[in-house]
Structure 1
Amino acid sequence: MRTLEESMSPLSVLWRIMRYLLLRPETLLLLCISLALWSYLFHTDDVKTIVQSMNVMKGKMKMTPTDGDDVVDGQKVSRTWEFRSPTAAVYSIQGKRDHMEDRFHILTDTINRSHPDIFGIFDGHGGEAAAEYVLTHLPAVLSKQLQQYERQKENSLLNHRSILKQHILNMDKELVEKLSASYDEAGTTCLVALLSEKQLTVANVGDSRAVLCDKDGNAISLSHDHKPYQLKERKRIKKAGGFISFNGSWRVQGILAMSRSLGDYPLKKLNVLIPDPDVLTFDLDKLQPQFIILASDGLWDTFSNEEAVHFIKERLNEPHFGAKSIVLQSFYRGCPDNITVMVVKLKKRRSKAAGQ
């Protein structure tokens, strides 16, 4: 048993004081504020990374799965995933599937604006491994490359389009190598949007889809689905020695209902499936957008682009900006798939004419 003198030694007293201070919520809050202030004043890269990591961690805490308590058409929605921030919201359900293979990601740097905001939808198939791998690795790699680009863009030959394309193709190589080693045949779509002050860049592989609502309420397609029945895709598949057949939907080699994806190593080895993204760039000053919808194909099986834009436009004042409502409506219409919808609200912009 320790004596009173030992328990009151200087080191013991100091440890007690530090432990008391460090465990108080006020101290943790003060630490976060200090880091943010230091980053704002001195633009220290290390502090930027710490602050961004804190923001991502907050988002992940909100994205943890919960038992669904919504009932649609007499059926209980199995599990739900959700995320909310002042400018973006996501609602996602497992639906009638045995597993949840959809993944999504939002990475914003609201403090330093060191790179464009990154939004991603990854709809897995054949298991969760591919979508989970892309979720874990692609946004982080993009963030690092984009930060470097923003610091050196005057002397760089790259741009947002080339960065997206390069890293999506690199991600597929990593994924195919990793999953083929364990004979895991999983694959995933990849829909990524980079939102900067004046420009929106969207890259797509597969059949997840992005749509924008312009200033007049019109639906503007931001991506193109990659389906086997499309003439360009059908010709490419046939030239590679493959075929498409109808089994509920048109499928590559009678297996996959999309003609491009990340992963799916058996079809990649046959050269009938490719990972090449379409990358499109949009002028925000010209479009004057109100919001963007990014969603897995579960939504687009039951909603057209125009229907989805009109539906969300009427519900932007809801907590999830209409994302939850449209997901549940899609489930009500009979979609059997996982359904994930992300809505990004955009600030009102001055027109070019007004700014002149």
Structure 2
Amino acid sequence: MTSAGPKEMGPAAPSAEATQSFLDSFLQEFPGPLSPEMALPWKVPGAPLSQEEVEGELMELALSLLCSRSAPLPLACSLTNEAVTQFKREDLSIFRQLPNQEKAGEEEEEEEEEEEEDGASVSLLDAESLQRCFFSKLWEICSQWQKQMPDLSRCTSRPWLTSIHAIRNTRRKMEDRHVSLPAFNQLFGFSDQVDRAYFAVFDGHGGVDAANYAAVHVHVNIAQHPEVTRDPAEALRAGFKQTDEMFLRKARREKLHSGTTGVCAFLVGRTIYVAWIGDSQVMLVRQGQALVLMEPHKPERQDEKERIEALGGFVSYVDCWRVNGTLAVSRAIGDAFQKPYVSGEADVASHELTGTEDYLLLACDGFFDSVPHEEVAGLVRSLLLQSEGGAPRIAEELVAAARERGSRDNITVLVVFLRDPQELIEG
């Protein structure tokens, strides 16, 4: 779920009263499944969906709807999981979209041939009819749970205090996206008592389509990977690669040209796994000292330069180092016109937590180009002191600091506190 707020505490289990209150309110607003003439409670995309996109898209719609109605996050995730799980058991072929008769026959044949040559011919589903049916399933689950609430205690996670802020800044469009999923277990139905949480920042370029897509699908592809519980690092690596491949198929169908960098932190028990593609970054601060977890993918990196040149591309300086004189990042999801020089392969690293770590900070280059790593820890502590431990506002203040230092780019900052922020001040 893309979080829009400056802070989030979760996922503490909601009380029975809070759960019942939400379900009563939701069913009062929606007393029954929608009739055919009624509008859906969300914006329906114009483009059809492929089968592989269904789970991520429906999860995003359900979570956004439920959270916009103030559903406790663990409840919203559990309802979403149940609705999507049940809906996927149904025969989705009934939503197959018939070929667009308005297309010129020659153009349609040409597109079909291109898909077949790439080995990625897919059946497309009508988005509106599918989503209308899905809303009925979600309503049905809410109605059932209102009468008899199931035991959700099997899917629990520790609470996380996060601070999130994002601004368009001086750019014409906002192309950043971020995801905060402290209730990862509830969303995907994990019941093995291992704490899991997922946080990510995506920085789009050439449009927001790729960043939107990554924010919806990367965590779903990670959770669906067969090795996610045994080898989270491999699940992260594969999740990014699969999302890139899925978006490239969508880009070909819809003639999209955007791309996105991305960075995510997947907290599993006492281990932090980080994955990144491009120059969005994550840093870990422990007892006031920044730990290097990653090196961003930039064209001037020697290994990246050699990889690009071995493929027949080149790296040149055009106000900064660029791939083929165009892109300032050497890896990204999307950017179909620059594949394979701009790689869709993510790098992954891990760190075992000792309990002395202060926080994780994920941000796009709009932040890190203005605030060097070595200054972050001191800046955070200073801001916490000035605001008397106001941790929920720390991301907003960090964004303001980057802007004051001259950043003109979109800026997104996501801070995940690993221990009480008050200890950072007293220490």
TM-score, normalised via structure 2 length:
0.59
Gaps of 5+ in 2: 1-16, 26-57, 72-158, 421-427
Counterpart for residue 219 of structure 2: 139
2:357–2:418 CA contact under 8 A, matched in 1: yes
Within 2, Cα distance between the matches of 1:279 and 1:290? 21
| Aligned-partner residue type, residue 298 of structure 1 | G
Which amino acid counterpart does residue 21 of structure 2 have in structure 1?
L
Matched, 1:187 2:259: yes
Question: Residue 328 of structure 2 corresponds to which residue in structure 1?
Answer: 257
2:383 to 315, 321, 325: 315
Q: Does 1:305 align with 2:385?
A: no
What is the CA–CA distance in structure 2 between the aligned matches of 1:138 and 1:110, rounded to whole Å?
Answer: 13
Q: Where in structure 2 are the equivalents of 1:4-23 lying within 5 Å?
A: none
How far did residue 139 of structure 1 move?
A: 2.0
1:277 corresponds to: 346
Alignment partner, residue 118 of structure 1:
198
1:58 is matched with which residue: 58, 61, 67?
Answer: 67
Q: Distance in 1 between matches of 2:179 and 2:69?
A: 9
Partner residue of 2:208?
128
| CA 1:56–1:27: 2 relative to 1, 3 Å | closer
2:371 is paired with a residue whose SS is: coil
Query: Aligned partners of 2:19, 2:297: CA distance in 1, in Å?
Result: 51
Give the aligned partner of residue 240 of structure 1: 311
CA distance in 2: counterparts of 1:229 and 1:100, whole angstroms: 27
For 2:289, the equivalent position in structure 1 comes to: 218
- The structure-2 alpha-carbon separation of the partners of 1:110 and 1:202, relative to structure 1 and needing over 3 Å to count, comes to closer
Residue 108 of structure 1: CA displacement?
1.5
Task: Report the structure number with the largest CA radius of gyration.
Answer: 1
Shift of 1:340: 0.3
Call closer, same or farther: CA 1:26–1:168 in 2, change over 3 Å.
closer
State the alpha-carbon separation in 2 of the partners of residues 206 and 301 from structure 1. Answer: 14
* Local SS of the residue matching 1:344: strand
- Quote the offset at 1:29 in angstroms: 3.9
From 144, 166, 183, the equivalent of 2:238 is 166
Aligned to 2:168: 94
Per-residue deviation at 1:26?
8.7
Distance between the aligned counterparts of 2:222 and 2:184, measured in 1?
A: 17
Q: Deviations over 1:49-71 (max 9, x none)?
A: 99xx6699438979xxxxxxxxx
Aligned residues: 273
Cα distance change of structure 1 residues 315 and 173 upon mapping to structure 2, 3 Å threshold: same
Match of 1:42 in 2: none
Cα displacement (A) at 1:318: 1.9
Query: What letter is aligned with 1:142?
Result: I
Secondary structure of 2:246 counterpart: helix
- Preserved contact between residue 315 and residue 322 of structure 1 (Cα < 8 Å): yes
Query: Helix, strand or coil for the counterpart of 1:306?
Result: helix
Cα distance per residue 1:65-124 (max 9 Å; x no partner): xxxxxxxxxxxxxxxxxxxx9611111110010000000001122886746100010100
Q: CA deviation at 1:197?
A: 2.4
CA shift digits 1:277-300 (9 cap, x unpaired): 110010102x72110100000011
Question: Does the 8 Å contact 1:260/1:276 carry over to 2?
Answer: yes
Contact 1:102 1:123 in 2 (8 A): yes
Q: In structure 1, what is the Cα distance between the partners aligned to 2:19 and 2:68?
A: 21
1:175/1:218 CA distance change after superposition, 3 Å: same
Distance across 2 between alignment mates of 1:345 and 1:26: 27
- Give the alignment's TM-score, normalised by structure 1: 0.70
Tell me, in whole angstroms, the C-alpha distance in 2 between the residues paired with 1:252 and 1:61. Answer: 45
Distance 2:249 2:164 in 1: 31
Q: Is contact 2:198–2:266 with CA below 8 Å preserved after alignment?
A: yes
C-alpha change, 1:30 and 1:56, in structure 2 (3 Å) is closer
CA contact (8 A) 1:56 1:107 kept: no
Paired residue secondary structure (1:315): helix
Distance 1:109 1:266, change over 3 A: same
Q: Which secondary structure state, in structure 2, belongs to the residue aligned with residue 195 of structure 1?
A: strand
CA separation in 1, counterparts of 2:263 and 2:307? 22
2:21 is the alignment partner of 1:28? yes
